[in-house]
Structures are given as C-alpha cells and as structure tokens.
Structure 1
Amino acid sequence: MDIIRKLREEFGITQGQAENTVRLLDEGNTVPFIARYRKEMTGSLDDQIIRQLSERLTALRNLEDRRTQVRTAIAEQGRLTDALAAKLDAAQTQTEIEDIYRPFRPKRRTRASIAKEKGLQPLADIIWGQKLIGTPEEAAKAFVDSGQGVDTVLDAINGAMDILAEQISDDADLRKLLREETIKCGAIVSKKTKDEPSVYEMYYDYRE
C-alpha cells in the first residue's frame, strides 16, 4: 500500500502536503509546532487535520506491519499462493487481514480437528460439494468405524458438520459478507430479564 497516496486521497491534500507532514511527524515534531511554525511545508494545514493525519498514519503503518507478519507466517507454512497474496494486498482493514489469516493460524485441538483425525473430512467434502448419492445418512454409513470412535451414522454426520462449521467460519469472503449484512440489516433488541422495577426505566407523568 502506498501510504502517502492513501493519506492524500483520504484527506484531500496534495502529494507535497502529505509527504512534508509525514516527514515532520517522523522527525518528532509535535502537532502544535507543525501547525504553527511549519505552515509553508504543510500548506497551512490546521492542527486538527494534522492530528487526524498522524493518527491515520499510525493506523496505516500498523496495518502494513500486520500484513507483512501474516504474509510471512503463511509463507513459512508453504501455503502462500499468488491468489492469497493478492487478497492480502487488497485488504484495507485489520479485520480483513485477520480473516484471511484465520485458516492458517495455529489452533488448539477443536471438534473439527478431532473429526478430521477420525477420517471424516471426505464425508464433509461430499456434503459440501453436494455430491450425495441418496441421503446424508446413507453416505455416512461408509464412515462408521468404532475403532476411530465413530460408532453410529449420527456420529459421522455430526463430525462432518463440525468440520463444515469450522470451514465456513474460516472463509474470509463469507465472514466479510456476513459482517456487511449484519451491519446493514441487523437490529439490537433488549428486554428485561426480570419482571421488576429497574433504575433504567423511564416514566412520564401525564397529569397536568
């Protein structure tokens, strides 16, 4: 990410204003000093804009640092593809980067990992790919194995569901879509848990 260009676009300032202000901040100058004594370099940006720019500069640099850390961590696992690298480059927020990293983050043993150890990943793949011949129960019969701790058809299906739940949860694109839909359409509802007076209730006296 070109941080200077990003600042220029977000604050509607020139390239020179962005570069000079960042340079002055990096040299350790305070916001009031820059606003008062370096007007010729900043194009007379006021202290409020400079302070906002300073905060945004820090946020963008932190974002780039995290992007590099995640890229390195995935590469060390030998799983960094061109498509994944492009997705990381396109991420504009820390949340997006963390969503991308989620499937690659070291995890403790989960219900999904236990189900995989029991050999249920192929069943999850069959269900996910809608490649069923017959019912899910019929497909699951082939995965019943008491030696693996899969004693019944229901055990096999539940294990496959655990795998799919984690798989869906780790999908960065789906997490982004759900987050956007929640923000756009979600509603927060609150209600009393006990049927008794509360200090937070409001009363209006209709008597004149």
Structure 2
Amino acid sequence: MSGPDEGVGGDAPQAIRKLAPGKLVIASHNPGKVREIRALLGPYGIEPVSAAELDLPEPEETGTTFVANAELKALQAADLSGLPALSDDSGLCVEALGLEPGIFSARWAGPEKDFGVAMQRIEDRLAALPPETGRDAHFICALALAWPDGHVEWFEGRVDGTLVWPPRGDRGFGYDPMFVPLGHEQSFAEMDPEAKHAMSHRADAFRQLVAAVL
C-alpha cells in the first residue's frame, strides 16, 4: 500500500516517488526498531541515521491509526533534519481484547518502556475472560517515508499468530516473547533475527516499500 501526498486534495493518484541512495533518518528512538530497519535497508545503498543520533525530539503520537502516527513522526523528522525520513508505527492487536493494545502498544509498557509489564497486562486481561477465549493476535506495521517538502509514501504490513504464556525467548523486543506466528512453534523472541526478518509485519511492509521506492 502506498499513500499519496499528505494534505493534497482531489482523487487523482500521486506518482510513487523513488528514494535515492544516501542518508535517511530513521524517525524512532526505539533501538530495537532502529536495529531491524538498518538490517532491512542495508543492501540498498541507504545510510540510516536514527532520530536519537540527531537529537530529534519524539513527537506526541496523536493519530488514531498506525498510518497516521507513522506519518506525523516521519514528517517531523524530515522537516527538522532536511533529509528524507522513515518512520515505523507498529503494535500488537489482540482479537479477544477488541484489537487492543493496538496503537497504544508502546504506551501499555509505561514511561519506562517495560514490556514485561505490558505483556503481563495482556495476559491478565485474557485470563479474566472465559477459558475457551481464543488467543489470536496480529502485529501491524505502518511505514511512512517523508521528504522535507511534505511528500509522503506509506506502506502497511501484517503478520498473524497466537499468544503464549509465559513469554519465551530473549531475542527481539516489545511483545515478541509472547507472539508465535502462524505455522511456527517458536516465538519471535526465540527465532534467529534473520528468520523473523523474513516473515515479520515489518518485513512485509518493507517488501512493499522496496518494490515501490528503491
């Protein structure tokens, strides 16, 4: 999926803008995300620099969708840095919890970004439901690529799976230890990073981005 220029009126589709090799701001202060994005961009002549390295502030995520939050972060980073900027907004959506935590996935971890607390919160909510309640869940990743002139392209990826308890594995980050993708027995946090990169929601969105702009 790709999005037209933010704020441009009319129904005519906008041409996909290609991303030239060179510096690209990763509009994230999450070291796990930055690490994964660097690995995914490595083969394409892109030189990723994180928002933290540039001392860029973290904007308040006021959007009501993953795409909206990704766009506002990318647009701010591009405006402040004068460089193209890529932002990722992603989260875990639990079917039995009405797709929560969703866009609030990071906020469930609190100001200390303690995802052990966030995972326990999900498990406690599920445990309070009838025993036959399903544990289906999916991760969503929205990528927004913005240029300093305000042009934005966006892409959205998804991976489906089930939740396990207790959490398993010490790789990955966020909710990875409790998420097992469909067709697999290991959680994301038990997998080799290369295996996760091959199937994750972020990888799905990146495949779309690469095909469109690189």
TM-score of Structure 1 vs Structure 2, range by shorter chain: under 0.3
**TM-score scaled to structure 2, two decimals?**
0.23
More strand as a share of residues: 2
**TM-score scaled to structure 1, two decimals?**
0.23
